[in-house]
Chains A and B, each alone.
Chain A
């Protein structure tokens, strides 16, 4: 079985400040980890993924995430938040040998001007 936890329903940050959206996972075997963003009434947009290699993954729109195997975490980060980053963020995991993603419940990011 595989699972993802996003412990914060909402994260509030001021524009220009760094942001972190937390994600922890549980899988058997090697994890493949993903972050998606969803704007209101829209579909899911891919941000970044970790498959193997460097633990720091850089993605779209200035976002990055760090894979930490010992803490089973894959937190999403951005050095300087924009108001336009306000959206719903989903972390997802796929275990080796599976073909589907398991999603967390999502974290709403609100960036204030």
Chain B
């Protein structure tokens, strides 16, 4: 039972490059979300999904794109990386019953 799997664990990008952070869960959870963690700012919501085919913006969506074609996968796309997107990214999945499971995170550095 893997829970929530995030790949890669570490990534260095150059400014302007694009990439996709992968998130997969095997618990058949309806809800999935992406957060970024920055020092002194806690975790801030980027995008979320309440089911396959349904996504919505969170607090800090600019520069990011998501899609949810299956229940299991919720990839986060950086369209044109900027140094301000240097952060640690966490994916989470949850049930309506409020059992949240977080991935182990992706540490992204944009140079």
Contacts and interface: CB of A to CB of B under 8 A. Distances in A.
Interface stretch (B12-20, B43-51, B64-72, B74-82): B43-51
Contacts, number: 49
Chain B: interface size category: 20 to 34
A100 B45 contact: yes
A71 to B, nearest CB: 21
Given A103-B42, A105-B41, A44 B90 contact: yes
A9 interface: yes
A46 B100 contact: yes
Interface residues of A, number: 23
A90 interface: yes
Interface in A28-54: 32, 34, 36, 42-44, 46, 49, 51
17 contacts: A34-B100, A42-B104, A43-B102, A44-B90, A51-B98, A92-B43, A99-B50, A101-B33, A101-B45, A101-B92, A103-B35, A103-B42, A103-B43, A105-B40, A105-B42, A106-B40, A106-B42
Given A44-B90, A99-B94, A103-B43, 9 more contacts: A34-B100, A36-B102, A43-B103, A44-B43, A90-B42, A100-B45, A101-B33, A103-B42, A104-B42
Interface of A: 4, 6, 9, 32, 34, 36, 42-44, 46, 49, 51, 90, 92, 94, 99-106
